[in-house]
Amino acid sequence: MFSLTLKEALRSLSASKFQTFIALLGILVGVASVVGMFSIGESAKEKSLAGLKALGTDVITGSMQQSNTVMRRYLDTDILKASDVVKMSTDNKFILTSAPRISNFTTVSHSGTVSNANIAGITDKFDILYKQTIKLGRRLTQFDMEKNYCVLGYDIAGKLFGKVSDKITGKSINIKRSKFVVVGIYEKNKYFNSSDNLNECVFIPIRQAELLFESKKLTNFKAKIKEGFSADKAKVTIQDYFVRRLGLSVNVETQEMLIKQAEEQSKTSSNVLLATASISLIVGGIGIMNLMLVSVKERKREIGIRRACGAERSHIVTQFLSEAVILSTIGGILGIILGIIISLAISIFADWRPIIPLNSIVISFAASLLIGMAFGYMPARKASKIEIIDAMKME
């Protein structure tokens, strides 16, 4: 009985190849979207978290709060400066080292090539806390803080000079109205987020950044805590320190906090992507329903003959439902294959490790079957309700 139903379903689907292909394409794209979105979300999450974890849990990040409600004692100390962070490090013995940073976007150029870049004013401690390594040349040292020297991120070096090579060191670039000599290029940083891509940064001495942007206001700072000292305790102590000493409200975050925030953001983004991909699955279900409704109309006489030969209404429902299930099964399998291929292609392009969760395959395939059955049931029920005498009137 089952094999007979299966053969009949395949015969019916093959009779209208184009409509079958369109309906199949809808399910295929829907399943591929779900698998792909699952994979993209998990891969992006892993890369984002890997960057935060690579810095270690003994690092804290601080910045001025946007809305400062603390009463300042002096109007000219209304900003957090590099000297304040250096003083913080010396006054608090649990801090091993700190790296203040000033960041601002502007255009940089070299020999007619112009590009937008994040200009980062840093100290000689930057490499230690940000885990940056030099590919070519050297890093900025404490003796470079008064000089117009710079180190380029890997990607911005390629944009300005065409390709990354040792010929870049020693050449100069223009930042606003000033020339800076390139002394080094950083290795490509694999761990970054879109809002702080170190590969697209030009790094200059923090003193030169203050002069260039005519401001001493820090964007943020990182500090490394002594082993065994609680990061949460360090956070509270540093916040109290700036309030007592400068009347400044400073937001301090531990690596654990940043990791949790990144996980929550990734979860939200993944859910949004999944919801968007699910819409295409529903569209695929509508395609199946449309095909089945057309099939019911075209096979009305056939249904009448079957009913006249003794077929029960349940047999008609089973016949049409089996066609919908076959469509969703084939579409689901092909969609999973396509989704995996898309995920691998994107991982190569984005330079991250491809992650294809097993649950994404199971969920997407199960969803395709359920949608096939749900959207195929109405046409199947409609077919079973056709009266024999009405069907036989069809020419």
Rounded CA-CA distance 264/266 in Å is 5
The pLDDT, as a whole number, for residue 256 is 77
Average pLDDT over residues 187-207: 83
Look at residue 8 and tell me whether its pLDDT is greater than 70. Answer: no
Q: For residue range 234-249, what is the model confidence (pLDDT) as tens digits? A: 999 999 999 988 888 8
Q: Of 77, 67, 131, 136, whose CA–CA distance to 99 is shortest? A: 131
Whole-number pLDDT of residue 52: 64
Which is more confident, 361 or 385?
361
| pLDDT of residue 89 exceeding 50 | yes
Q: Over 70: is that where the pLDDT of 389 sits?
A: no
* Burial degree of 205 (CB within 10 A; 0-12, 13-18, 19+): buried
Residue 233 pLDDT > 60, yes or no? yes
Q: How many CB atoms lie within 10 A of CB 240?
A: 11
- How large a percentage of the chain has pLDDT more than 90? 32
pLDDT of residue 191: 64
Question: What pLDDT, on the 0 to 100 scale, is given for residue 5?
Answer: 58
CA distance 334 to 367: 14
Q: What does the block give as tokens for 53?
A: 């974890």
3-state secondary structure of 153: coil
d(CA 141, CA 137): 12
pLDDT value at residue 74: 39
Cα separation, 316 vs 312, in Å, equals 7
Cβ atoms < 10 Å from Cβ of 112: 5
Distance CA 355, CA 342 (A): 12
145 pLDDT above the threshold of 90: yes
> What's the average model confidence in pLDDT over 14-41?
82
Residue pLDDT, tens place only, 32-70: 888 888 888 888 777 777 766 666 678 888 888 754 444
> Nearest Cα to 137, choosing from 165, 178, 108, 163?
165
Alpha carbon distance 108, 173 (integer Å): 7
List C-alpha distances in Å: 372 to 30, 362, 365: 12, 15, 11
Residue 97's H or E segment, with its range, is strand 95-110
The three state secondary structure string of 36-66 is HHHHHHHHHHHHHHHHHHHCCCCEEEEEECC
pLDDT for the residue numbered 68 = 46
To which residue do tokens 């200009």 refer?
A: 119
Written as six digits, the tokens of 153 are 């991120």
Q: How confident is the model over 262-268, as a mean pLDDT?
A: 75
Residue ranges of E strands in the chain: 59-64, 95-110, 113-122, 134-137, 149-152, 172-175, 178-186, 201-205, 220-225, 250-254
Average pLDDT of every residue of the chain: 83
Helix (H) or strand (E) holding 121, with range, is strand 113-122
Question: Which two structure tokens, joined as six digits, stand for 31?
Answer: 């399943």
Residue 2 scores a pLDDT above 60: no
List Cα–Cα distances, 394 to 15, 293, 370, 379, 388, in angstroms.
19, 17, 33, 19, 10
With a cut of 50, say whether residue 75 has pLDDT above it: no
Q: Report angle CA 102, 104, 106 to the nearest 5 degrees.
A: 145
Helix (H, G, I), strand (E, B) or coil at 278: helix
Q: Is the pLDDT of residue 340 over 60?
A: yes
C-beta separation of 230 from 62 below 8 A: no
